[in-house]
Amino acid sequence: MSPERSDFLRDEFGRYQRDYDLRSVSTAAEAEELAQHLVEDGRQVSLFVTESRLADAPLLVALHRWRVVVPTARRLVAAHWEVFLEDAEALRPGLVTGKYDAFQLMPRGLRDEEFHTAVCELLSDWGSTVAAPEVTTAEVVAEPGDPLAVGIREFFARMGMPSATVSPDSPAGVAVTQSWRSTHGTEPSYPLVSHIRGGVIAPRTVRDVAALIYGRPDSIDPEGATTIVDLCIVGAGPAGLAAAVYGASEGLSTVAVEAEAIGGQAGTSSMIRNYLGFPRGVSGMRLAQRARSQALRFGTRFFTGWEVAGLTPGVDGAPHVLHTDGGDLHARAVVLATGVTYRKLGVEALEALVGLGVHYGSAMSVAREMENVDVVVVGGGNSAGQAALHLARFARSVTIVVRRDGLEATMSSYLIKEISYHHRITVRPFTEVVDGGGGGRLEWLTLRDGRDGSEDTVPAGGLFLLLGAEPHSDWLPVAVARDDRGYVLTGREVPAAAWHDGVPPPSLSTTVPGVFAVGDIRAGSMKRVAAASGEGSSVVPLVHAYLGGL
């Protein structure tokens, strides 16, 4: 870049001087050399900002070389007015294939907040997925590799609560342990969690942590009185969150109960790039937390960490009762939004290593630990593609394993393009994982070729399983009709015997009056985040109509 333009960019980034070390160079080669020196010195590079035209290299070539040196850094291209349209057209294919993260017009004044919004979004994404948190809301004290500690840390990450995991003999670990001893008078069992409410607990499950922080469902009833809410939503993925926002905003007293972290499976996605209104993409966690904040603003109450174990339908307009280990909830209408769960791999040796290198879902908080190791991702859907791209920022190599002949039938085109251009990712079709093991944690996997039955053993420090979906509906009563796979039937799909005067129930209504189903749990759903959000918002008028007829 020319010296005068380099100075202009540097001046525009003056506002970041307090929190970041800003370096300015004039050529692509100098940028690569500087980044290499910083990495060798143990420094982190968060963001490359470059003009759209470089003096010594084609831009896309330079961006690729920078990514090889610092895979975790974000990459922003800023074009000048006189070349913006021409370069945008030429460079757009590179944006589509993930060679850089954002294309912006060079700042047009002293306070070009649109430009700086893009910068801050990229830095925020980098900070939440790469850098260790500057401030933590919780500390987890555990021995390295403790599976429960890994699960707790992942829960905190998905809830947008920065946390740190420390060993018991570290200064922070010793302080938390001493706090436990002084309060309980006993020796602790690990992990210990020092939490936002100001105490220390020794949880036995992730849900112990969630329930402590977010309360019990029966806390909604003051002094033992039975409170009947208008709407109870079971599940807080995209469909449930949308129902919570629209239900509460339209005047319904609304409660949402989630067994795990807010966001469901979508909440584990490292980056969703095709969600409407987010041109630079948005992580599943951030999307879920924004929706939760929106629902809270309208009055929704969330109870996280409590699995709904049963539903007793109300008769003749009586409230429905939802049963949890933390008490019952009474609601005039219920929306089922429990989504689906990942199928188990079924390899006993690997099930024993869950949390020790083997993970169901993308496990975003674990990605940092995959640095310089070989990783295998099993699955051919969008979640698997997003996980592979995120893991490739850290891992030495990422192999996507699928039983089909490729990804085209199950994955979005934009992800396939990014994967095909990524130098660290390979795809193995017609393949399945049949064995694996290691000395206390995952070290190797056996892969079988489905065409000829041949097997080979490969090194692997991480296995991430995104194996399709099974509906979470076993807890429902028989009165709620389901298909032979367990998905809830709604509208015209319900058995004709449940129709009234030859008319099927409304589109999202189940066979139980006042009980609705939205999102992935519903038979015939689209299995897309946007579709689930649409169903969650669309169900609220049906709820209003039902309540109006009581």
pTM higher than 0.85, yes or no? yes
| 3 confidence band (pLDDT: 50, 70, 90) | very low
**pLDDT at site 272:** 87
**pLDDT at site 127:** 87
Return the ∠ at Cα 489 (arms to 487 and 491), rounded to 5°: 150
Distance from C-alpha of 12 to C-alpha of 24, rounded to nearest angstrom: 12
Q: What is the average pLDDT across 397-411? A: 94
Cβ proximity of 546 and 539 under 8 Å: no
Q: Is the per-residue pLDDT at 111 higher than 80? A: no
Q: What is the average pLDDT across 371-393? A: 94
| 9 confidence band (pLDDT: 50, 70, 90) | low
**pLDDT at site 10:** 66
- The domains of the chain, with CATH numbers, are 3-129 (3.40.50.2300), 138-204 (3.40.30.10), 217-341+470-548 (3.50.50.60), 348-465 (3.50.50.60)
Q: Is the per-residue pLDDT at 8 higher than 70? A: no
> Mean pLDDT over all residues of the chain?
91
More confident residue, 31 or 127: 31
Residue in the structure block whose two tokens are 């004290």 = 141
Q: 170: buried, middle or exposed (CB in 10 Å: 19+, 13-18, 0-12)?
A: middle
**What is the torsional sign of CA 328, 329, 332, 337?**
negative
Q: Is the per-residue pLDDT at 408 higher than 80? A: yes
Q: Is the per-residue pLDDT at 6 higher than 70? A: no
Q: Is the per-residue pLDDT at 2 higher than 50? A: no
Distance from C-alpha of 345 to C-alpha of 350, rounded to nearest angstrom: 8
Indicate the range of 12-26, 236-250, 528-542 predicted with least confidence. Answer: 12-26
| 405 confidence band (pLDDT: 50, 70, 90) | very high
**pLDDT at site 317:** 85
Cβ proximity of 494 and 510 under 8 Å: yes
Strands in 213-275 per DSSP E? 228-234, 254-258
Return contacts of 531-535, CB within 8 angstroms, 24+ apart: 532/237, 532/238, 532/239, 532/242, 532/266, 532/337, 532/339, 533/238, 533/239, 533/241, 533/242, 534/242, 535/239, 535/242, 535/508
Instruction: Provide the residue count of the chain.
Output: 550
264: number of Cβ within 10 Å: 30
**pLDDT at site 7:** 58
**Which run of H or E residues covers position 435?**
strand 431-437
- pLDDT tens digit string along 149-159? 988 988 888 88
Considering just the CA atoms, what is the radius of gyration of the chain in Å?
A: 25
Which residue type occupies 63?
L
438: number of Cβ within 10 Å: 17
